[in-house]
Amino acid sequence: GQNIDQPTEMTATEGAIVQINCTYQTSGFNGLFWYQQHAGEAPTFLSYNVLDGLEEKGRFSSFLSRSKGYSYLLLKELQMKDSASYLCAYMDSNYQLIWGAGTKLIIKP
């Protein structure tokens, strides 16, 4: 299979903070993407990182460490509508996206 891993499922409480990790191994790297996918719907773009560091976008932030092959998506002030799957994907040397299996995030009141 592809060398990208993320937890299968996570649970968090409304109003809290959750961090979803993603690790990958690749010899060619052209960026790391995060997408959100609600059940039965299409994935939608959340973030893109190509340089090390944190990118903040409202309640969502994404971090990348290229040397460690590691990224995380941080969701703050969780809302019930954030219940979804979060997909991590890296772009390989052929500029194709290699996708993780997704992390299903369950938000409890």
Partner 1 sequence: IAGITQAPTSQILAAGRRMTLRCTQDMRHNAMYWYRQDLGLGLRLIHYSNTAGTTGKGEVPDGYSVSRANTDDFPLTLASAVPSQTSVYFCASSSEGGGNNEQFFGPGTRLTVL
Q: Which residues bind partner 1 (CB under 8 A)?
A: 2, 4, 30-31, 41-45, 48, 50, 87, 89, 91, 95-102
* Smaller CB separation from partner 1, 87 or 105: 87
Query: Which residues lie closer than 8 Å to 2 by C-beta, 6 or more apart?
Result: 98, 99, 100
Q: Are 90 and 98 in contact (CB under 8 A)?
A: yes
* Smaller CB separation from partner 1, 74 or 101: 101
Nearest to 45 by CA among 96, 86, 8, 98: 86
The nearest distance, CB 103 to partner 1, in angstroms, is: 11
* Smaller CB separation from partner 1, 76 or 104: 104
